[in-house]
Structure 1
Amino acid sequence: MRRISLAILAAAGVLFCGTASAGTKLTVHVRTYNVAGRTGAELIEAMDGLGPRHGHATRAIAETSYAVHWDLDVKRDNGICRLRRADGTIDLTYTFPRRTSPSGPVLRRRWDRFMAGVRQHEHTHGRIAKQMMRATETALAGLERPDNWFCTGLRWDARRRIDTIYADYEARQNAFDAREHRDGGHVEKLVNALMGKN
Protein backbone atom coordinates (compact mmCIF):
# COMPACT_ATOMS: atom_id res chain seq x y z
CA MET A 1 0.00 0.00 0.00
CA ARG A 2 1.13 3.55 -0.60
CA ARG A 3 0.30 6.94 0.80
CA ILE A 4 1.51 9.80 -1.39
CA SER A 5 1.54 13.57 -1.20
CA LEU A 6 2.80 16.00 -3.80
CA ALA A 7 3.43 19.58 -2.74
CA ILE A 8 3.78 22.50 -5.12
CA LEU A 9 3.53 25.92 -3.47
CA ALA A 10 3.89 29.24 -5.26
CA ALA A 11 6.01 32.01 -3.76
CA ALA A 12 7.15 35.35 -5.15
CA GLY A 13 9.90 34.75 -7.69
CA VAL A 14 10.25 31.02 -6.96
CA LEU A 15 8.03 27.97 -7.06
CA PHE A 16 8.98 26.59 -3.68
CA CYS A 17 8.27 23.23 -2.14
CA GLY A 18 10.32 22.39 0.90
CA THR A 19 14.05 22.84 1.32
CA ALA A 20 16.37 21.34 -1.26
CA SER A 21 19.90 21.68 -2.55
CA ALA A 22 21.00 21.05 -6.13
CA GLY A 23 19.57 17.85 -7.57
CA THR A 24 17.16 15.35 -6.08
CA LYS A 25 17.46 14.58 -2.37
CA LEU A 26 16.18 11.36 -0.85
CA THR A 27 15.43 10.63 2.79
CA VAL A 28 14.32 7.18 3.93
CA HIS A 29 12.62 6.29 7.21
CA VAL A 30 11.70 2.81 8.44
CA ARG A 31 8.91 2.32 10.97
CA THR A 32 7.78 -0.92 12.56
CA TYR A 33 4.79 -2.20 14.48
CA ASN A 34 4.92 -5.23 16.78
CA VAL A 35 3.09 -8.49 16.12
CA ALA A 36 3.06 -11.70 18.13
CA GLY A 37 1.83 -15.20 17.43
CA ARG A 38 2.75 -18.83 17.88
CA THR A 39 1.76 -19.77 14.31
CA GLY A 40 1.82 -18.17 10.88
CA ALA A 41 -1.97 -17.81 11.03
CA GLU A 42 -1.75 -15.95 14.35
CA LEU A 43 0.90 -13.61 12.93
CA ILE A 44 -1.30 -12.88 9.89
CA GLU A 45 -4.23 -12.19 12.23
CA ALA A 46 -2.06 -9.80 14.28
CA MET A 47 -0.97 -7.93 11.15
CA ASP A 48 -4.58 -7.72 10.03
CA GLY A 49 -5.44 -5.99 13.30
CA LEU A 50 -2.37 -3.82 13.80
CA GLY A 51 -0.96 -3.02 10.34
CA PRO A 52 -1.10 0.37 8.60
CA ARG A 53 -4.64 1.45 7.74
CA HIS A 54 -5.71 0.77 4.16
CA GLY A 55 -8.95 2.71 3.74
CA HIS A 56 -11.44 2.86 6.61
CA ALA A 57 -12.08 -0.80 7.34
CA THR A 58 -8.94 -2.73 6.36
CA ARG A 59 -5.27 -2.77 7.17
CA ALA A 60 -2.18 -3.59 5.14
CA ILE A 61 0.75 -5.82 6.06
CA ALA A 62 3.21 -3.07 5.19
CA GLU A 63 3.20 0.37 3.61
CA THR A 64 5.34 2.69 1.52
CA SER A 65 4.46 6.35 1.85
CA TYR A 66 6.22 9.29 0.29
CA ALA A 67 6.03 13.05 0.11
CA VAL A 68 7.46 14.92 -2.88
CA HIS A 69 8.49 18.58 -2.92
CA TRP A 70 9.91 20.69 -5.74
CA ASP A 71 11.93 23.90 -5.45
CA LEU A 72 11.99 25.57 -8.88
CA ASP A 73 14.33 28.49 -9.48
CA VAL A 74 12.82 30.70 -12.23
CA LYS A 75 14.43 33.80 -13.77
CA ARG A 76 13.12 36.30 -16.32
CA ASP A 77 15.50 38.01 -18.75
CA ASN A 78 14.53 40.10 -21.81
CA GLY A 79 10.94 38.88 -21.63
CA ILE A 80 11.93 35.18 -21.50
CA CYS A 81 11.33 33.14 -18.36
CA ARG A 82 13.71 30.24 -17.79
CA LEU A 83 13.77 27.44 -15.29
CA ARG A 84 17.34 27.65 -14.04
CA ARG A 85 17.17 24.79 -11.56
CA ALA A 86 14.69 22.13 -10.40
CA ASP A 87 15.52 20.65 -7.00
CA GLY A 88 13.34 17.79 -5.85
CA THR A 89 13.10 16.11 -2.48
CA ILE A 90 11.40 12.80 -1.81
CA ASP A 91 10.78 11.61 1.72
CA LEU A 92 10.16 7.83 1.72
CA THR A 93 8.76 6.00 4.74
CA TYR A 94 8.49 2.23 4.91
CA THR A 95 6.33 0.57 7.58
CA PHE A 96 6.92 -3.12 8.32
CA PRO A 97 5.72 -5.64 10.92
CA ARG A 98 8.21 -6.80 13.55
CA ARG A 99 7.71 -10.20 15.19
CA THR A 100 8.13 -9.99 18.97
CA SER A 101 7.08 -13.49 20.06
CA PRO A 102 9.52 -16.40 20.36
CA SER A 103 9.20 -19.14 17.78
CA GLY A 104 10.73 -22.41 16.74
CA PRO A 105 13.09 -22.74 13.77
CA VAL A 106 10.36 -23.64 11.25
CA LEU A 107 8.23 -20.56 11.93
CA ARG A 108 11.34 -18.37 12.12
CA ARG A 109 12.43 -19.53 8.63
CA ARG A 110 8.92 -18.96 7.28
CA TRP A 111 8.85 -15.47 8.83
CA ASP A 112 12.25 -14.57 7.38
CA ARG A 113 11.15 -15.64 3.87
CA PHE A 114 7.84 -13.81 4.30
CA MET A 115 9.57 -10.57 5.36
CA ALA A 116 12.08 -10.80 2.50
CA GLY A 117 9.13 -10.87 0.08
CA VAL A 118 7.31 -8.04 1.89
CA ARG A 119 10.42 -5.85 1.81
CA GLN A 120 10.95 -6.60 -1.88
CA HIS A 121 7.36 -5.51 -2.61
CA GLU A 122 7.62 -2.25 -0.66
CA HIS A 123 11.07 -1.41 -2.02
CA THR A 124 9.66 -1.79 -5.55
CA HIS A 125 7.13 0.95 -4.67
CA GLY A 126 10.05 3.07 -3.49
CA ARG A 127 11.99 2.39 -6.68
CA ILE A 128 9.01 3.48 -8.83
CA ALA A 129 8.75 6.68 -6.77
CA LYS A 130 12.45 7.42 -7.34
CA GLN A 131 12.00 6.81 -11.08
CA MET A 132 9.19 9.38 -10.98
CA MET A 133 11.59 11.96 -9.57
CA ARG A 134 14.15 11.32 -12.32
CA ALA A 135 11.46 11.54 -15.02
CA THR A 136 10.25 14.85 -13.58
CA GLU A 137 13.78 16.29 -13.57
CA THR A 138 14.13 15.34 -17.24
CA ALA A 139 10.74 16.84 -18.16
CA LEU A 140 11.55 20.14 -16.44
CA ALA A 141 15.08 20.54 -17.85
CA GLY A 142 15.46 23.54 -20.18
CA LEU A 143 11.91 24.80 -19.67
CA GLU A 144 11.55 28.38 -20.98
CA ARG A 145 8.98 30.65 -22.64
CA PRO A 146 8.13 34.30 -23.22
CA ASP A 147 6.14 35.35 -20.18
CA ASN A 148 5.01 38.13 -17.88
CA TRP A 149 7.04 39.63 -15.04
CA PHE A 150 5.93 36.89 -12.64
CA CYS A 151 6.60 34.01 -15.08
CA THR A 152 3.05 32.81 -14.49
CA GLY A 153 2.83 30.78 -17.69
CA LEU A 154 6.13 29.00 -17.06
CA ARG A 155 5.03 28.13 -13.54
CA TRP A 156 1.80 26.65 -14.88
CA ASP A 157 3.78 24.70 -17.52
CA ALA A 158 6.02 23.27 -14.79
CA ARG A 159 3.02 22.37 -12.65
CA ARG A 160 1.32 20.60 -15.59
CA ARG A 161 4.45 18.60 -16.35
CA ILE A 162 4.85 17.56 -12.72
CA ASP A 163 1.17 16.58 -12.46
CA THR A 164 1.29 14.59 -15.72
CA ILE A 165 4.33 12.58 -14.64
CA TYR A 166 2.88 12.08 -11.17
CA ALA A 167 -0.33 10.64 -12.69
CA ASP A 168 1.67 8.35 -14.99
CA TYR A 169 3.75 6.94 -12.13
CA GLU A 170 0.71 6.60 -9.87
CA ALA A 171 -0.78 4.41 -12.60
CA ARG A 172 2.44 2.34 -12.58
CA GLN A 173 2.22 1.98 -8.79
CA ASN A 174 -1.40 0.83 -9.06
CA ALA A 175 -0.60 -1.62 -11.87
CA PHE A 176 2.21 -3.13 -9.78
CA ASP A 177 -0.13 -3.54 -6.80
CA ALA A 178 -2.81 -5.11 -9.01
CA ARG A 179 -0.30 -7.74 -10.23
CA GLU A 180 1.04 -8.46 -6.75
CA HIS A 181 -2.36 -8.66 -5.03
CA ARG A 182 -4.29 -10.66 -7.63
CA ASP A 183 -5.59 -14.12 -6.74
CA GLY A 184 -2.63 -16.49 -6.78
CA GLY A 185 -0.22 -13.53 -6.93
CA HIS A 186 2.96 -12.83 -5.01
CA VAL A 187 1.28 -11.51 -1.84
CA GLU A 188 -1.08 -14.48 -1.56
CA LYS A 189 1.86 -16.86 -1.99
CA LEU A 190 3.79 -15.06 0.77
CA VAL A 191 0.83 -15.29 3.16
CA ASN A 192 0.20 -18.97 2.36
CA ALA A 193 3.88 -19.83 2.82
CA LEU A 194 3.92 -18.13 6.22
CA MET A 195 0.90 -20.17 7.26
CA GLY A 196 2.52 -23.35 5.93
CA LYS A 197 0.00 -23.88 3.12
CA ASN A 198 2.62 -24.19 0.34
Structure 2
Amino acid sequence: MPCVKLARIVLFGACITFAGEAAAGVKVSETTRTYAVAGGTGAALLAAMDRHGPKHGFLTRAIAQTRYSVAWTIEWGETRTACRVKKIDGALDITYTYPSAHGLSPVLERRWTRFLAGVKKHEKAHGDMARQMVGAVEKSVARLSVENDRGCRKARTEVKRRTAAIYAQYEARQIQFDVREHRNGGRVEGLIEALLGR
Protein backbone atom coordinates (compact mmCIF):
# COMPACT_ATOMS: atom_id res chain seq x y z
CA MET A 1 0.00 0.00 0.00
CA PRO A 2 1.40 3.49 -0.78
CA CYS A 3 2.73 5.48 2.17
CA VAL A 4 0.09 8.21 2.06
CA LYS A 5 -1.31 10.01 5.05
CA LEU A 6 -3.15 13.11 6.09
CA ALA A 7 -0.93 15.99 7.15
CA ARG A 8 -0.87 19.32 8.88
CA ILE A 9 1.73 22.06 8.69
CA VAL A 10 1.87 24.78 11.32
CA LEU A 11 3.33 28.15 10.43
CA PHE A 12 2.96 30.19 13.58
CA GLY A 13 5.65 31.65 15.76
CA ALA A 14 7.38 34.95 15.44
CA CYS A 15 4.53 36.94 13.93
CA ILE A 16 3.68 39.16 16.89
CA THR A 17 3.61 42.86 16.07
CA PHE A 18 3.41 45.23 18.98
CA ALA A 19 1.64 48.15 17.35
CA GLY A 20 -0.85 49.00 14.68
CA GLU A 21 -4.50 49.56 13.99
CA ALA A 22 -6.96 46.85 13.02
CA ALA A 23 -10.47 45.72 13.75
CA ALA A 24 -10.80 43.95 17.09
CA GLY A 25 -10.78 40.19 17.34
CA VAL A 26 -9.45 37.35 15.26
CA LYS A 27 -10.02 37.28 11.53
CA VAL A 28 -10.02 33.85 9.92
CA SER A 29 -9.49 33.23 6.22
CA GLU A 30 -9.81 29.81 4.62
CA THR A 31 -8.50 28.73 1.23
CA THR A 32 -9.06 25.38 -0.44
CA ARG A 33 -6.68 24.02 -3.05
CA THR A 34 -6.87 20.80 -5.01
CA TYR A 35 -4.50 18.63 -6.98
CA ALA A 36 -5.60 16.25 -9.72
CA VAL A 37 -5.39 12.48 -9.47
CA ALA A 38 -6.59 9.85 -11.93
CA GLY A 39 -7.05 6.10 -11.90
CA GLY A 40 -9.53 3.36 -12.60
CA THR A 41 -9.24 1.70 -9.17
CA GLY A 42 -8.91 2.76 -5.57
CA ALA A 43 -5.32 1.49 -5.58
CA ALA A 44 -4.51 3.58 -8.66
CA LEU A 45 -5.98 6.69 -7.00
CA LEU A 46 -3.92 6.07 -3.85
CA ALA A 47 -0.79 5.64 -5.96
CA ALA A 48 -1.57 8.94 -7.72
CA MET A 49 -1.98 10.68 -4.33
CA ASP A 50 1.35 9.20 -3.26
CA ARG A 51 2.97 10.71 -6.37
CA HIS A 52 1.19 14.08 -6.52
CA GLY A 53 -0.07 14.89 -3.02
CA PRO A 54 1.26 17.78 -0.94
CA LYS A 55 4.72 17.24 0.50
CA HIS A 56 4.84 15.90 4.04
CA GLY A 57 8.41 15.99 5.24
CA PHE A 58 11.35 15.57 2.90
CA LEU A 59 10.51 12.34 1.08
CA THR A 60 6.83 11.61 1.66
CA ARG A 61 3.57 12.98 0.40
CA ALA A 62 0.18 13.29 2.03
CA ILE A 63 -3.35 12.58 0.83
CA ALA A 64 -4.45 15.99 2.08
CA GLN A 65 -2.99 18.78 4.15
CA THR A 66 -3.98 21.61 6.46
CA ARG A 67 -1.57 24.53 6.68
CA TYR A 68 -2.15 27.46 8.96
CA SER A 69 -0.35 30.60 9.97
CA VAL A 70 -1.10 33.07 12.73
CA ALA A 71 -0.14 36.72 13.07
CA TRP A 72 -0.95 39.02 15.96
CA THR A 73 -1.10 42.80 16.27
CA ILE A 74 -1.12 44.19 19.81
CA GLU A 75 -1.78 47.77 20.81
CA TRP A 76 -0.48 48.78 24.23
CA GLY A 77 -1.78 51.22 26.82
CA GLU A 78 0.63 52.69 29.34
CA THR A 79 0.07 54.57 32.56
CA ARG A 80 2.84 56.06 34.70
CA THR A 81 3.85 52.64 35.99
CA ALA A 82 1.73 49.96 34.38
CA CYS A 83 1.41 48.47 30.92
CA ARG A 84 -1.67 46.75 29.60
CA VAL A 85 -2.91 45.20 26.38
CA LYS A 86 -5.26 47.79 24.95
CA LYS A 87 -6.27 45.76 21.90
CA ILE A 88 -5.25 42.43 20.35
CA ASP A 89 -6.05 41.46 16.79
CA GLY A 90 -5.24 38.15 15.19
CA ALA A 91 -5.16 36.83 11.66
CA LEU A 92 -5.48 33.09 11.14
CA ASP A 93 -4.96 31.87 7.59
CA ILE A 94 -5.92 28.24 6.94
CA THR A 95 -5.21 26.46 3.66
CA TYR A 96 -6.67 23.04 2.95
CA THR A 97 -5.30 20.89 0.11
CA TYR A 98 -7.36 17.97 -1.17
CA PRO A 99 -7.14 15.52 -4.07
CA SER A 100 -9.59 15.88 -6.93
CA ALA A 101 -10.64 13.04 -9.24
CA HIS A 102 -12.99 13.06 -12.24
CA GLY A 103 -14.27 10.56 -14.77
CA LEU A 104 -14.55 7.68 -12.31
CA SER A 105 -16.82 4.69 -12.78
CA PRO A 106 -20.08 4.91 -10.80
CA VAL A 107 -18.88 2.38 -8.21
CA LEU A 108 -15.52 4.07 -7.76
CA GLU A 109 -17.20 7.51 -7.71
CA ARG A 110 -19.32 6.43 -4.72
CA ARG A 111 -16.26 5.12 -2.91
CA TRP A 112 -14.31 8.27 -3.77
CA THR A 113 -17.10 10.56 -2.51
CA ARG A 114 -17.17 8.77 0.87
CA PHE A 115 -13.37 8.75 1.06
CA LEU A 116 -13.06 12.46 0.30
CA ALA A 117 -15.79 13.36 2.81
CA GLY A 118 -13.82 11.51 5.52
CA VAL A 119 -10.58 13.20 4.49
CA LYS A 120 -12.22 16.63 4.62
CA LYS A 121 -13.70 15.88 8.05
CA HIS A 122 -10.19 15.03 9.32
CA GLU A 123 -8.62 18.17 7.90
CA LYS A 124 -11.44 20.40 9.12
CA ALA A 125 -10.81 19.06 12.64
CA HIS A 126 -7.25 20.40 12.35
CA GLY A 127 -8.63 23.74 11.21
CA ASP A 128 -11.09 23.81 14.13
CA MET A 129 -8.26 23.21 16.59
CA ALA A 130 -6.33 26.09 15.03
CA ARG A 131 -9.38 28.33 15.51
CA GLN A 132 -9.66 27.23 19.15
CA MET A 133 -5.96 27.93 19.63
CA VAL A 134 -6.14 31.54 18.44
CA GLY A 135 -9.28 32.06 20.51
CA ALA A 136 -7.42 30.82 23.59
CA VAL A 137 -4.50 33.17 22.90
CA GLU A 138 -6.83 36.13 22.43
CA LYS A 139 -8.68 35.34 25.67
CA SER A 140 -5.44 34.85 27.62
CA VAL A 141 -3.79 38.04 26.44
CA ALA A 142 -6.72 40.47 25.99
CA ARG A 143 -6.86 41.73 29.59
CA LEU A 144 -3.17 41.44 30.44
CA SER A 145 -1.87 44.20 32.69
CA VAL A 146 1.53 44.35 34.34
CA GLU A 147 2.38 46.81 37.13
CA ASN A 148 5.79 48.52 37.40
CA ASP A 149 6.41 48.01 33.70
CA ARG A 150 7.35 51.26 32.02
CA GLY A 151 8.16 50.56 28.39
CA CYS A 152 6.07 47.36 28.48
CA ARG A 153 9.08 45.03 28.51
CA LYS A 154 7.62 42.64 31.09
CA ALA A 155 4.21 42.66 29.44
CA ARG A 156 5.70 41.86 26.02
CA THR A 157 7.64 38.98 27.54
CA GLU A 158 4.50 37.69 29.26
CA VAL A 159 2.50 37.84 26.02
CA LYS A 160 5.18 35.80 24.27
CA ARG A 161 5.28 33.30 27.14
CA ARG A 162 1.50 32.83 27.21
CA THR A 163 1.29 32.56 23.43
CA ALA A 164 4.07 29.97 23.26
CA ALA A 165 2.45 27.91 26.04
CA ILE A 166 -0.93 27.88 24.29
CA TYR A 167 0.67 27.02 20.93
CA ALA A 168 2.47 24.10 22.58
CA GLN A 169 -0.74 22.88 24.24
CA TYR A 170 -2.66 22.93 20.96
CA GLU A 171 0.20 21.43 18.97
CA ALA A 172 0.12 18.50 21.43
CA ARG A 173 -3.65 18.17 20.81
CA GLN A 174 -3.07 18.19 17.04
CA ILE A 175 -0.45 15.45 17.36
CA GLN A 176 -2.66 13.34 19.64
CA PHE A 177 -5.52 13.66 17.14
CA ASP A 178 -3.29 12.45 14.30
CA VAL A 179 -2.00 9.54 16.38
CA ARG A 180 -5.59 8.40 17.04
CA GLU A 181 -6.67 8.86 13.43
CA HIS A 182 -3.59 7.20 11.88
CA ARG A 183 -3.23 4.23 14.23
CA ASN A 184 -3.62 0.70 12.86
CA GLY A 185 -7.31 0.05 12.47
CA GLY A 186 -8.01 3.77 12.87
CA ARG A 187 -10.20 6.10 10.88
CA VAL A 188 -7.66 6.90 8.15
CA GLU A 189 -6.96 3.23 7.52
CA GLY A 190 -10.71 2.65 7.34
CA LEU A 191 -11.06 5.38 4.70
CA ILE A 192 -8.28 3.87 2.62
CA GLU A 193 -9.64 0.35 2.92
CA ALA A 194 -13.10 1.54 1.84
CA LEU A 195 -11.61 3.32 -1.17
CA LEU A 196 -9.86 0.09 -2.08
CA GLY A 197 -13.22 -1.70 -1.89
CA ARG A 198 -12.23 -3.97 0.97
Q: TM-score, normalised by structure 2?
A: 0.92
SS at match of 1:62: strand
1:2 maps to what in 2?
8
Partner of 1:72: 74
Identity level (%): 46
- Runs of 4 or more off by more than 6 Å in structure 1? none
Can you list the C-alpha shifts for 1:40-93, whole angstroms capped at 9, x where unaligned? 100000001110111111111000000001111112112100101111110000
Letter in 1 for 2:175: N
How many angstroms apart in 1 are the aligned matches of 2:118 and 2:156? Answer: 42
Let me know the Cα RMSD of the aligned residues: 1.5
Instruction: Report how many residues are paired.
Output: 192
**Alignment of 1:194 onto 2:187:** no
- Secondary structure of the corresponding residue to residue 12 of structure 2: strand
Aligned to 2:159: 158
Q: How does 1:1-198 map to 2 (within 5 A)?
A: 1-9=7-15, 14-15=18-19, 20-100=22-102, 102-197=103-198
For 1:146 and 1:15, the matched residues in 2 are separated by: 20
Gaps of 5+ in 2: 1-6
Cα contact 2:16–2:74 (8 A) shared by 1: no
Q: 2:3 matched to which residue of 1?
A: none
Letter in 1 for 2:100: R
Name the CA distance, whole Å, in 2 between partners of 1:10 and 1:39. 47
**Alignment partners' CA distance in 2, 1:7 and 1:169:** 13
The TM-score normalised by the length of structure 1 is: 0.92
Match of 2:4 in 1: none
SS at match of 1:21: coil
Residues 136, 166 of structure 2: 8 Å contact kept: yes
* Alpha-carbon distance, 1:150 to partner: 2.1
Paired residues of 1:8 and 1:15 also in contact (CA < 8 A): no
CA distance in 1, matches of 2:142, 2:25: 12
For residues 169 and 82 of structure 2, the distance between their equivalents in structure 1, rounded to whole angstroms, comes to 29
Write the letter of the residue equivalent to 1:3: I
